[in-house]
Amino acid sequence: MKYLINNNFKIMRKGSHVVANENVGEFIYDDERQDLSLGQLKEIAEANKLQCVGKKQSQYQQSLNEALKMVDVAEQNGPTETEKVEQIVSEGFAAGHDDDTIMIAIVQAGISFRRAARMFKDAVEKLGLRTSVKDVKEVARKLLAEMEFNPQSFTEVKEVADKLVSEVEGATHGQAMVAIKSYAKENEIALPKREKGEKKAGREPGASGFKRKMFNWILNNPNGTVDQLKEYIVENERDGEKLAKRFAPIMQLCKDYAAKHSAVQSADLDAA
């Protein structure tokens, strides 16, 4: 059995999936291992008011293990929500799934919409699956200084953003533009404005940005409700009321089209 011990040697939880936060002095005591000193074992016994005996480390640990069986604390024998999310995210990235698909899997695992986005972001950062803006900024400072960055047109800015994306594995054009703007501000460089009709850096044809995320959410949630859509929008720090009202008709149109298309297919199969 494993026991979660806090920095005062008090037992917090027990079970096969207890996890310690070393930053606050927690550690795991495993009754099948013998890596603690006699003094540390006595600290655990005294903090939890356990009567243990034994002059040798092995004898005292055996006595402590018997006493620990009687300690009444919460058990944790399954993965935590954090562990569940980290596994989903890790497997999702390995399979090449996009963010929306992974988010849907997280919600289907029992995590609320409100918490899924934050837990997804934390898992990506912890697992090192995506380059952060900070990483891109560090490369940008060096690269822009070496090339004496002082663009005369927005096209030059786009070209530099493309170069940053190619230089930093996992970086996006959005992160590159943030890094460029940050460098320009620090060095008092005036960035040329994008001309009307000129494409943004890295922009693809059709819907982009959050609008594309919205469309993906609608496509991947054929049974979704307007309230769920609103919750997804709010989770992404947008105006839920306004955008849900705007996209609700589109969502309904998709549902109607899918239902009609399905009915036509069924009729064709029956006729065949």
| DSSP string computed for 114-147 | HHHHHHHHHHHHHHT-S--HHHHHHHHHHHHHHT
What is the mean pLDDT of the segment spanning 124-146? 86
| 9 within 8 A of 64, measured Cβ to Cβ | no
Whether the per-residue pLDDT at 262 is higher than 70: the answer is no
| 116 within 8 A of 92, measured Cβ to Cβ | no
- Residue 255 confidence (pLDDT): 75
**96-108: string of b/e by CB count within 10 Å (b at 16+)?**
ebebbebbbbbbe
Going by pLDDT thresholds of 50, 70 and 90, the confidence category of residue 264 is: very low
- Residue 186 confidence (pLDDT): 92
Whether the per-residue pLDDT at 210 is higher than 90: the answer is no
Q: Using one digit for the tens of pLDDT, what is the confidence trace for 17-52?
A: 888 888 888 999 998 887 889 999 999 999 999 999
Output phi, psi for 52, to 5 deg. Answer: -130, 150
Going by pLDDT thresholds of 50, 70 and 90, the confidence category of residue 74 is: confident
pLDDT averaged over every residue in the chain:
82
Whether the per-residue pLDDT at 268 is higher than 70: the answer is no
Going by pLDDT thresholds of 50, 70 and 90, the confidence category of residue 183 is: very high
- Residue 8 confidence (pLDDT): 93
Whether the per-residue pLDDT at 265 is higher than 90: the answer is no
With both helix axes pointing from N to C terminus, report the angle between 81-94 and 113-127 in degrees, rounded to the nearest 10: 70
| 47 within 8 A of 55, measured Cβ to Cβ | no
What is the mean pLDDT of the segment spanning 107-134? 84
Helix (H, G, I), strand (E, B) or coil at 113: helix
Residue 87's closest CA among 67, 65, 59, 111? 111
Going by pLDDT thresholds of 50, 70 and 90, the confidence category of residue 174 is: confident
Going by pLDDT thresholds of 50, 70 and 90, the confidence category of residue 197 is: low
Q: Is the pTM of this model over 0.95?
A: no
- Residue 205 confidence (pLDDT): 46
